[in-house]
Amino acid sequence: MIFITAADTRFYFFLPYMVAQIERFFPESKIIVYDLGMTEQESKQIRDWGVEVKKWHIGPGDPVTDQTYYTRALHKPSMILDALERHKNESASIWMLMRYLTRALASQKIAT
């Protein structure tokens, strides 16, 4: 199983807990964090946990920079597609995690 998520500096503080919960419930899984604008220190810290970090380009004209929720959410399907393409030879399912799914993991609502 491969878990993917995305964060910038504003949402970095969710990652330690999210990673810990995934490792607790799914210890054999792989975790990929798409970097939407974290500092080098934050990216290094994530790598130190044994988690893959993939820089995701956000620039002028990219829908993610728009401030409406709908357009900011457009990066998620493209990251899922990227993960599927990069891991197409593996027989693993891919889950995209966001903040509210972390709470479900914490409360053990997702079966292990």
Q: Give me the CATH number covering residue 88.
A: 3.40.50
Residue 50: the pLDDT is 95
Residue 75 domain-assigned? yes
Residue 59 counted as domain residue: yes
63 belongs to a structural domain: yes
- Give the pLDDT score at 44: 97
Q: What whole-number distance in Å separates Cα of residue 101 and Cα of residue 96?
A: 9
Instruction: Count structural domains, the chain.
Output: 1
Domain limits at 93?
A: 2-106
In-domain check, residue 111: no
Q: What pTM does this model have?
A: 0.73
Rounded Cα distance between 43 and 12, Å, is 9
List residues bridging with 32 in a β-sheet: 4, 52
Residue 95 covered by a domain:
yes
Averaged pLDDT in 10-residue chunks for the chain of 112 residues: 87 90 91 91 96 80 51 69 81 69 48 42
10 falls within a domain = yes
Tell me what pLDDT residue 110 has. Answer: 43
Residue 43, in any domain of the structure = yes
Flag whether 112 is in a domain: no
